[in-house]
Amino acid sequence: MPIPSYKQVHIKSEKRELIFDQLNFHHFGQVPYIFSISHLENQVEALKNIEDFVEENRISNYPYPVYVISDIQNYRGELSIFNHLSKCPSFYKQKVKQLNVKENKILQKIYLKQKNMQNMRDLEFTPYLEEYGRSHKKLSHLYQEELFLTDLLTKLEDYYDKKEK
Amino acid sequence: MTKKKSDDDLIGFRDFLDGDSEKTSSKMPTKRYNDFELMTFLEQDSKRITKHIETFEEKVYMIKNYPQDIKLTTDLEIEVASKKGEVLTYLNRNDSPLIINLSDLFNRFFNS
């Protein structure tokens, strides 16, 4: 059981077959991953192939995220991109060392929870969560509109009250 | 007398004790800090995954089987529509601030 600290993978090539061969060896869901592609010439192609790999193998950001280090800017996709290792969230930057008994017990619990989460893949909760988020956004917009109208009504009522007096 | 006696007892050990205390003061805190750091990280990560599981198991089940968003949205839409109607009745009056300002604007523009 590894400590859930970043595991960095230097992608060797931007070609689809090579990326798939390289990433197939890794067990996702146990540690957060960082794919480094900033040294490659065609980073866009590499990123597209990584996206395909993530989609085909149903790799999600739960329980551990997958980050990409690249120079690509204004990326709008599923993956999280950083331009340098230091920009990645520091929570998972942990030194790997020999664990004591107490730490080992917690790590075993974490391992069980990871397995539990992996078994929950079939629940397909993502569309429900996305819909939940969308409905919350819609509710928020409607509530803002209602607040504006209430404010406007109060001002109009005050205006007519003053006029009548 | 007692002070002298205790001082005498420590002769020969003082350097050793001083050296030992220096060593412990410089090394122990960092070791303890590192242990604490990793332990805290693991505990936080464990709690984090537990919260994820709770969300995906219980909350998603509730969202899936007992969605509340449709009713809440409909209620709010009705409320907004009625308030829009109230605002419009106020603004449609001949002495409303909107009509006064608009008529003022048009009169200035076309009469000048």
- Which residue in B has a C-alpha nearest to residue A108's C-alpha? B46
Give the DSSP per-residue string, A64-131: S-EEEE-S--S--SSSEEESSGGGS-GGG--------HHHHHHHHHHHHHHHHHHHGGGG--HHHHHH
On whether the CB atoms of residues A43 and A19 are closer than 8 A, the answer is: no
- Which residue in B has a C-alpha nearest to residue A150's C-alpha? B83
Q: Does A105 touch chain B (CB under 8 A)?
A: no
The per-residue pLDDT for A123 is 67
Query: A117: which strand partners?
Result: none
B47-to-A93, A110, B8 alpha-carbon distances in Å: 18, 9, 56
B64 — pLDDT class (breaks 50, 70, 90) = confident
Which segments of chain A have a pLDDT < 50? none
Q: Does A62 touch chain B (CB under 8 A)?
A: yes
The per-residue pLDDT for B33 is 52
What would the two tokens of residue B68 be? 């509340």
On whether the CB atoms of residues A117 and B53 are closer than 8 A, the answer is: yes
B84-to-A97, A160, B32, B98 alpha-carbon distances in Å: 64, 18, 64, 15
The per-residue pLDDT for A82 is 92
**Residue from B33, B45, B94, B101 whose CB has the most chain A CBs within 10 Å, to mutate:** B45
B1 — pLDDT class (breaks 50, 70, 90) = very low
Residue B4 pLDDT greater than 60, yes or no: no
What is the Cα–Cα distance from B88 to B105, expressed in whole angstroms? 20
B17-to-A18, A118, A152, B14 alpha-carbon distances in Å: 62, 55, 78, 5
| Angle CA A83–A85–A89, to nearest 5 | 100
The ipTM estimated for the assembled molecules is: 0.76
The per-residue pLDDT for A68 is 93
pTM of the prediction?
0.66
What would the two tokens of residue B25 be? 């003061």
Query: Tens of pLDDT along B11-41?
Result: 666 655 555 555 554 555 555 555 688 889 9
Report chain A residues whose CB lies below 8 A from the CB of B53: 113, 116-117, 120
The per-residue pLDDT for B2 is 47
